[in-house]
């Protein structure tokens, strides 16, 4: 067992998509996009997605579109649980 503990583990390098996704999330947090108005968020995403597509030229069109979708979802406010909504409607009636 002691021998297994000293072995180096093979670490898979992240794919270009994973790198671009992680970089985008870091920039969202760093740039304060979460607190920006929807118009400013759209402008920021337009510029940032163009930049990421140039930086990670390995990405295809569908992957670039998926990056934007992930980023926009990340910026949306959290949704309330459905159970809490049902209770509040019942209380209001």
Question: What is the model's pLDDT at position 89?
Answer: 60
| CA 77 to mean position of chain CA atoms | 13
> Can you list the residues of the chain whose pLDDT is less than 70?
1-6, 82-93
Closest CA to 70 of 30, 32, 18: 18
| Separation of alpha carbons 42 and 45, rounded Å | 5
Tell me what pLDDT residue 49 has: 93
The DSSP symbol for 7 reads: S
Q: How many CB atoms are closer than 10 A to CB 80?
A: 9
Q: Residue 3: what pLDDT?
A: 62
pLDDT at 79: 79
pTM of the model: 0.69
pLDDT of residue 21: 92
């Amino acid at each position: 067992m002691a021998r297994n503990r000293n072995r180096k583990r093979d670490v898979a390098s992240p794919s270009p998509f994973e790198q671009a996704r992680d970089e985008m999330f870091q920039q969202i947090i760093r740039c304060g996009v979460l607190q920006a108005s929807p118009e400013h968020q759209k402008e920021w995403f337009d510029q940032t997605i163009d930049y990421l597509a140039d930086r990670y030229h390995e990405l295809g069109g569908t992957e670039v579109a998926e990056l934007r979708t992930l980023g926009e979802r990340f910026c949306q406010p959290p949704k309330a649980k459905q159970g809490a909504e049902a209770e509040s409607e019942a209380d209001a009636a």
